[in-house]
Amino acid sequence: MLVDGKHFQSIWRDNSTGEIKIIDQRWLPHEFAIVGLNSLSEVVVSIRDMWVRGAPLIGVTAAYGMAIAMSEDSSDKNLNSARELLNSARPTAVNLTWAVKRMEDHLRPTPEAKRAVAAMKLADLMAAEDISINRLIGEHGAKIIEEIYVQKSDQSPVRILTHCNAGWLATVDIGTATAPIYVACEKNIPIEVWVDETRPRNQGAALTTWELKHNKIPHTLIVDNAGGHLMQRGLVDMCIVGSDRTTRNGDVCNKIGTYLKALAAKANEVPFYVALPSSTIDETLHDGVSEIPIEYRPMNEVTHIQGLNGNGELEKVQICPDETKAENPAFDVTPSEFITGLITENGCKFI
């Protein structure tokens, strides 16, 4: 998608040097920093410390991590240790283990001398597939937006609430939850996006607003607690969120706070959709609440907040008394009964 009118992906292979480049998302929206990933350990850190984040992008970054590992040492021993290191970087997004397994299954029977090239080729393919999958999610989802639009007697914009960032920054390009929005806008359907700030890391405030702004999609930032109020007042036509892991019966694990939005949506008869590539579906799991591993992140993400100070410098400030105990579950599970439909590259499955 566009940044200052120029097309970017969230991860790419530099044409001239072959280096894997990413947008370091820790500094957005205030600094647009591009960094190179040159070793397996750098890739692990970039996932663990959220330079890159979002389930599909974590998966593709891990695939490039496997490829970089094979260029360092293509032995079976290193294949195993790369797999273990990458899989332990973050626990919740199933796209990580899915991507690592796909790479491993391809590389294991490949002769060692050919592994580095074969790995890079497959990682490139997975990056390209992510984009085409998201385009399909966009086309399927845009049909749902269009149906809502034609039912509106006043032809006013379709007001869509989204949580966290399931936009192009969370994928290689286009996004999942944002894909239907971008495609609907291409079809000239008027849209207004309600963007949840998404405490504690503020992916909505920092990332979703930034990408919608650069792609000229009308949007309004709201605090996480405003969604229920807006739905009660009839100001939300639909919700679309992403997913980090979805069980075979349709329970959806996504950024903390998604569940509360789904409860409010159900109570107010607002359709609640989840947009996801089918690689986010974990067929081995049935009950999301008891089976999906939930990442717990450091307390200081809750006790502190990052922003620009009066001198235009990035600063972290404390928002509670010294030594306040904090709990920081990064994801929650929305049971399938609260979900209207899952939008994947294969179409919309109504639940």
Q: Which residues are catalytic?
A: 244
264 Cβ contact list (under 8 Å, min separation 6): 227, 228, 231, 232, 270
Tell me how far apart the alpha carbons of residues 196 and 241 are, in angstroms, rounded to a whole number.
11
Q: How far is the CB of 254 from ligand MRU (least distance, A)?
A: 5
Q: Rule CB under 6 A: say whether 243 interacts with ligand MRU.
A: yes
Q: Rule CB under 6 A: say whether 166 interacts with ligand MRU.
A: yes
Residue type, 19: E
Please give the structure tokens belonging to residue 122.
């497959």
Tell me how far apart the alpha carbons of residues 128 and 69 are, in angstroms, rounded to a whole number.
21
SS3 of 312, please?
Answer: coil
Binding segment (CB under 6 A) for ligand MRU, from list 50-58, 146-154, 185-193, 281-289: 50-58
* Listed residue (143, 185, 168) closest to 343, CA to CA: 143
Binding segment (CB under 6 A) for ligand MRU, from list 60-68, 119-127, 150-158, 163-171: 163-171
Tell me how far apart the alpha carbons of residues 324 and 123 are, in angstroms, rounded to a whole number.
43
Closest CB to ligand MRU among residues 57, 230: 57
Q: Rule CB under 6 A: say whether 9 interacts with ligand MRU.
A: no
Tell me how far apart the alpha carbons of residues 315 and 50 are, in angstroms, rounded to a whole number.
18
Residue type, 12: W
Q: From residue 318 to residue 337, what is the string marking binding to ligand MRU with x (rule CB under 6 A)? A: ------------x-------
* Member of 9, 46, 247, 254 binding ligand MRU (CB under 6 A): 254
SS3 of 232, please?
Answer: helix
Q: How far is the CB of 189 from ligand MRU (least distance, A)?
A: 21
* Member of 164, 212, 252, 333 binding ligand MRU (CB under 6 A): 164
Tell me how far apart the alpha carbons of residues 331 and 83 are, in angstroms, rounded to a whole number.
24
Interface with ligand MRU: number of residues (CB under 6 A)? 17
Site residues (vs ligand MRU, CB under 6 A) = 53-56, 93, 164, 166, 170-171, 176, 203, 242-244, 254-255, 330
